[in-house]
C-alpha cells in the first residue's frame, strides 16, 4: 500500500528531443492516495497504457519522477517496485491447482507456509473460489480463470499498488456484473491502492472512486464519477463519459442566455467576458433535455431516430446541422417529425475552446 506521486512525469517513444506536443504522455503531476481506487480512462492512443507502464516500470520515463510513499522509485525495475499486475487475458498455470496458483506470487518471496495458507484461504473466500482450491486450473471457464488471475494479483498484502490492465474485456456481460462488484468489495476489504486501466466508461465509473480521464496524452479531468458526469471540465469528458455522450453545440452566449440555431435558451449562471475569439459551445447531457410536443418558446428539432434501450429511450434529433440526443420521457408518445426540446438550465454548461467556463451566480 502506498501513496503514489507523479512529478512532472512525461514520456516520448521518440527520445527526449522530440517536440513535447508529440509526447505519448505530456507532463503530468498528480497524487494518488494510499488505498484509493483509480481508473485511467480514455480511447486507444490516449496515453493510459503508457502511464500504467511507467508506473509498473516496464517503460522508463523521458522526464520526471514517480514516488511511492515519498521514495523515488523511477530507477527501479518492475520487480523491485513491489507491485502486482492483472492483465487482459488470464495468466495461470494449468498444471497447478487453483490453490497453488493463488499461492505462487507468495512462494517466490519467502513467505512462511502458515502465512501463505492463511492468505490463500482468505482470497479464495473473497472470490468464491474455495470449492476449487484443490482442483487443477485446467478446463475452467474464462471468468473462473480471470478470477484466479485477480486472486494472484491480490494475494500479496504488502504490495505498493495493484495495476489492472483491461481485466474484464474477455468476460461475458452477466459475469462482468459479478466480477465488478467482487473487485469493489475486495478493494474495501483489503485496503490496497488499485489502478485500473480501461476504455470502457462503465467499468471505470463503477470501479473507481477517482476516474482519471485521458485524451491525447493529457489528463483532461480527474474526479469522482458524479463530478465527471455533472460538470465535465472539457468537452472531451462530456463526449466520452455518458452514453450517448454530452450534446455539444456552437452557441452565442451573453449574460444568462445562449443562442443556439436562432433560438434562445436560459442559463443558470451569468457568462460575461468570455475570452475573445474563443470557440464558444454549449454542452448539455441528453439526460437533461426532454423531448416534448412542438410549442412556441421551445427549441424545435427534427427527429431522426429513437433508440429504445429498454429502460430508457433517447431521441436522436438534428438542430440545424448539429446532431443532438434527448431523453424521451416515460409514456411519452413520439411526435412524427418535429419535437420541441425542454432544457434543464442547471445542467447547461458553457465551454470556451473546449474548456468549461464557470460563470458567475
Partner 1 sequence: MSVTLENVTRAVDGIPTIRDVSLTLERGTLSVLLGPTLSGKTSIMRLLAGLDKPTTGSVLVDGKDVTGVDVRQRSVAMVYQQFINYPSLSVYENIASPLRVQGKPRVEIEKRVQEAAKLLRLEPYLNRTPLQLSGGQQQRTAIARALVKGADLVLLDEPLANLDYKLREELRTELPRIFEASGAIFVYATTEPSEALLLGGRTVCMWEGEILQAGETSKVYRHPDTMRVAQVFSDPPLNIVGIEKSNGSVQYAGGVKAPASGLYADLGDGTYRVGFRAHQLEVANGIAGRHGFHATVTVTEITGSESFVHLNRDASNWVAVLQGVHEYAPGHLLDAVLDPNNVFVFDAAGRLVAAPGAM
Query: What does the angle CA 224 – CA 229 – CA 234 come to, to the nearest 5 degrees?
Result: 95
Q: Considering the rule CB under 8 A, would residue 244 count as an interface residue with partner 1?
A: yes
Contacts of 127 (CB under 8 A, 6+ apart): 147, 150, 151, 182, 186
* Shortest CB 105 distance to partner 1, Å: 26
Using left for φ > 0, alpha for ψ between -120 and 50, and beta otherwise, residue 261 falls in left
Q: Considering the rule CB under 8 A, would residue 243 count as an interface residue with partner 1?
A: yes
> What gap in Å lies between CA 354 and CA 220, rounded to an integer?
10
Q: Report which of 143, 158, 148, 161 is spatially closest to residue 104, judged by C-alpha positions.
A: 148
Q: Considering the rule CB under 8 A, would residue 174 count as an interface residue with partner 1?
A: yes
Q: Considering the rule CB under 8 A, would residue 114 count as an interface residue with partner 1?
A: no
**Closest CB to partner 1 among residues 99, 286:** 286
Identify any residues that bridge with 260 across adjacent strands, giving them in sequence order.
263
* Shortest CB 243 distance to partner 1, Å: 6
Q: Report which of 261, 220, 221, 260 is spatially closest to residue 350, judged by C-alpha positions.
A: 260
Q: Considering the rule CB under 8 A, would residue 185 count as an interface residue with partner 1?
A: yes
Residues 115-144, mask of contacts with partner 1 (x by CB under 8 A): ---------------------------x--
Q: Considering the rule CB under 8 A, would residue 229 count as an interface residue with partner 1?
A: yes
Mark 285-297 as b/e (b = at least 16 C-beta within 10 Å): bbbbbbbbeeeee
Residues 294-313, mask of contacts with partner 1 (x by CB under 8 A): -------------xxxxx--
Query: Hey, how many other C-beta atoms are within 10 angstroms of the C-beta on 29?
Result: 12
Stretch that binds partner 1, among 51-59, 68-76, 146-154, 234-242 (CB under 8 A): 234-242
Q: Considering the rule CB under 8 A, would residue 336 count as an interface residue with partner 1?
A: no
**Closest CB to partner 1 among residues 29, 181:** 181
Q: Considering the rule CB under 8 A, would residue 177 count as an interface residue with partner 1?
A: yes
> Among 200, 250, 256, 292, which residue sits at the site for partner 1 (rule: CB under 8 A)?
200
**Closest CB to partner 1 among residues 200, 216:** 200
> What gap in Å lies between CA 179 and CA 352, rounded to an integer?
40
Burial label for 114, CB within 10 Å (0-12, 13-18, 19+), is exposed
Residues 12-51, mask of contacts with partner 1 (x by CB under 8 A): -------------------------------xxx------
Q: Report which of 166, 171, 154, 167 is spatially closest to residue 101, judged by C-alpha positions.
A: 154
Q: Which residues bind partner 1 (CB under 8 A)?
A: 43-45, 142, 172-174, 177-178, 180-181, 184-185, 188, 199-202, 205-207, 224-226, 228-230, 239-245, 285, 287, 307-311, 316
Amino acid at each position: 500500500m502506498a501513496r503514489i506521486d507523479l512529478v512532472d512525469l512525461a514520456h516520448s517513444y521518440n527520445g527526449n528531443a522530440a517536440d513535447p506536443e508529440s509526447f505519448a504522455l505530456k507532463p503530468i503531476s498528480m497524487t494518488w492516495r494510499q488505498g484509493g481506487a483509480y481508473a485511467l480512462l480514455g480511447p486507444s492512443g490516449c496515453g493510459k497504457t503508457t502511464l500504467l507502464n511507467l508506473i509498473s516500470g516496464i517503460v522508463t520515463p523521458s522526464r520526471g519522477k514517480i514516488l511511492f510513499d515519498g521514495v523515488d522509485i523511477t530507477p527501479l525495475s518492475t520487480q523491485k517496485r513491489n507491485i502486482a499486475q492483472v492483465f487482459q487475458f488470464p495468466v495461470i498455470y494449468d498444471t497447478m491447482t487453483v490453490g497453488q496458483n493463488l499461492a505462487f506470487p507468495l512462494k517466490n518471496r519467502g513467505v512462511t507456509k502458515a502465512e501463505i495458507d492463511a492468505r490463500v484461504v482468505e482470497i479464495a473466500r473473497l472470490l468464491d473460489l474455495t470449492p476449487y482450491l484443490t482442483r487443477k486450473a485446467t478446463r475452467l471457464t474464462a471468468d473462473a480463470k480471470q478470477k484466479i488471475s485477480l486472486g494472484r494479483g491480490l494475494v500479496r498484502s504488502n504490495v505498493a499498488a495493484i495495476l489492472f490492465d483491461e481485466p474484464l474485456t474477455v468476460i461475458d456481460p452477466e459475469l462482468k456484473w459479478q466480477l465488478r462488484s467482487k473487485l469493489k468489495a475486495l478493494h474495501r476489504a483489503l485496503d490496497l491502492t488499485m489502478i485500473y486501466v480501461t476504455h470502457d466508461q462503465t467499468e471505470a465509473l463503477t470501479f473507481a472512486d477517482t476516474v482519471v480521464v485521458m485524451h491525447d496524452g493529457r489528463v483532461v479531468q480527474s474526479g469522482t464519477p458524479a463530478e465527471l458526469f455533472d460538470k465535465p471540465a472539457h468537452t472531451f469528458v462530456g463526449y466520452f463519459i455518458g452514453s450517448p455522450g454530452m450534446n455539444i453545440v456552437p452557441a452565442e452566449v451573453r449574460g444568462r442566455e445562449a443562442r443556439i440555431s436562432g433560438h434562445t435558451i436560459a442559463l443558470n449562471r451569468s457568462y460575461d467576458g468570455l475570452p475573445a475569439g474563443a470557440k464558444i459551445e454549449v454542452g448539455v447531457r441528453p439526460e437533461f433535455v426532454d423531448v416534448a410536443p412542438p410549442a412556441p418558446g421551445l427549441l424545435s428539432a427534427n427527429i431522426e431516430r429513437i433508440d429504445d434501450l429498454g429502460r430508457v429511450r433517447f431521441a436522436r434529433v438534428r438542430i440545424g446541422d448539429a446532431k443532438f440526443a434527448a431523453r424521451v420521457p416515460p409514456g411519452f408518445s413520439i411526435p412524427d417529425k418535429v419535437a420541441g426540446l425542454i432544457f434543464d438550465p442547471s445542467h447547461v454548461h458553457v465551454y470556451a475552446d473546449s474548456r468549461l467556463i464557470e460563470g458567475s451566480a
